Amino acid sequence: MHCTAIVVTYNSGESIGPCLEGLTREDCEIVVVDNASADDTVRRVEEFVAWHPVRLIANQQNLGFAAAVNQGAREVTGDVLLILNPDAIAEPGAVAALLNCLQTTQAAAVGGALLASDGQPDRGFAFRRLPTLWALVFEATLINQLWPGNPVNRRYRCLDADYSQPQEVEQPAGACLAITHTLWDKLGGFDERFFPVWFEDVDLCKRLRDAGGRIFYCPGARFRHAGAHSVGQLSFRHRQLFWYNNMLQYARRHFSKSQVLMLRLAIVKGMFFRSIAALFGARKAPLKESLGAYWAVIRSVL
């Protein structure tokens, strides 16, 4: 199998070097698609290109993660596309393990073990089940934050799974996802309406499974992952707006109209709860910024 790794960067100067170093140890073509970084990302990739066969596509504007991956996929001919975040570092043999897993399971796509800072697989993130209405309602209304061990959340985030074993899963994280190029083209790649990030990988996995494809988790393919690389650069207001707007975008595509209405109401209810909590000091941003963000989400949802 011929593998092409597609790495989308956005102000990724501090992390892109180790990511590319890890990939050059593997037998894999590398394409970097930069989304108009304002830091030294492009310069660092260009310096790397001088010594390694890495292709760089430098966009003049931020197209979003989904569009950038689609852009990279159109430029390559590999049998397998490996979508990898710039803050994910392949341990030796990780890509080979992914490809072997893809062949032996005859799956349409596979995900690797994304390792947290303690070296253990990141539970609740490396793979999840596809979200149900109630999984998203519990997320929107603060139930998961107040009671993270509730049965709905445990099932959704696969918190009881054995992460040391290969297994069929519903949705590995888009931070490390290998998919056959043939099926990628058949599905039309990522839906670019999920901008700039969030839920594009969930939507792809949902469509893949609806088409009869199987997805596996491969614990032998180990990638060290820092997490929250790009989204950490967004303002608090934009994180709230993009997250909930993309959540609704997913629901409109895969849920019934009545379920979408229920989710809208749950998001509005959750924003009221968050506003009250912010008034009493439970907030992740200054009070004015927090309240402004929550009310912006309400206006957007309604």
Report whether pLDDT(227) > 80.
Answer: no
Report whether pLDDT(65) > 80.
Answer: yes
Q: Residue 58's beta-bridge partner residues?
A: 34
User: Amino acid letter at 76?
Assistant: V
* CA distance linking residue 269 with residue 214, whole number of Å: 36
pLDDT tens-digit series, residues 7-22: 999 999 999 999 999 9
Kindly report the backbone phi and psi dihedral angles of residue 197, in degrees, each rounded to the nearest multiple of 5, phi listed first: -165, 165
pLDDT category at 233 given cuts 50, 70, 90 is confident
Report whether pLDDT(228) > 70.
Answer: no
The model's pTM is 0.96
* CA distance linking residue 181 with residue 118, whole number of Å: 33
pLDDT category at 36 given cuts 50, 70, 90 is very high
pLDDT tens-digit series, residues 88-131: 999 999 999 999 999 999 999 999 999 998 999 999 999 999 99
Mean pLDDT of 135-139: 98
In the chain, % helix, strand, coil (3-state, to 5) comes to 45, 20, 35
pLDDT tens-digit series, residues 176-192: 999 999 999 999 999 99
pLDDT category at 280 given cuts 50, 70, 90 is very high
User: Amino acid letter at 90?
Assistant: A
pLDDT at residue 131, rounded to an integer: 98
Enumerate domains of the chain plus CATH numbers.
3-126+163-231 (3.90.550.10), 131-160+234-302 (no CATH)
Does the CA dihedral 283-285-287-293 come out positive or negative? negative
- Assess contact for 48 and 55: CB atoms under 8 A: no
* CA distance linking residue 13 with residue 43, whole number of Å: 8
Q: Which residue has the tokens 């990279």?
A: 72
pLDDT at residue 29, rounded to an integer: 95
Q: Residue 225's beta-bridge partner residues?
A: 88
Mean pLDDT of 79-95: 97
pLDDT tens-digit series, residues 145-202: 999 999 999 999 999 999 999 999 999 999 999 999 999 999 999 999 999 999 999 9
Q: Count CA atoms closer than 13 A to 89's CA, side-chain side.
A: 15
DSSP classification of residue 227: -
* CA distance linking residue 201 with residue 140, whole number of Å: 19
Considering the chain, what is the average pLDDT of its residues?
96
Report whether pLDDT(218) > 80.
Answer: yes
The angle that helices 133-140 and 257-279 make with each other, rounded to 10 degrees, is: 20
Q: What angle do CA 89, 90, 92 make, to 5 degrees?
A: 135
Instruction: Extract the tokens encoding 122.
Output: 């990141």
Instruction: Extract the tokens encoding 210.
Output: 């609806």
* CA distance linking residue 32 with residue 210, whole number of Å: 30
Mean pLDDT of 256-264: 98
Mean pLDDT of 214-228: 93
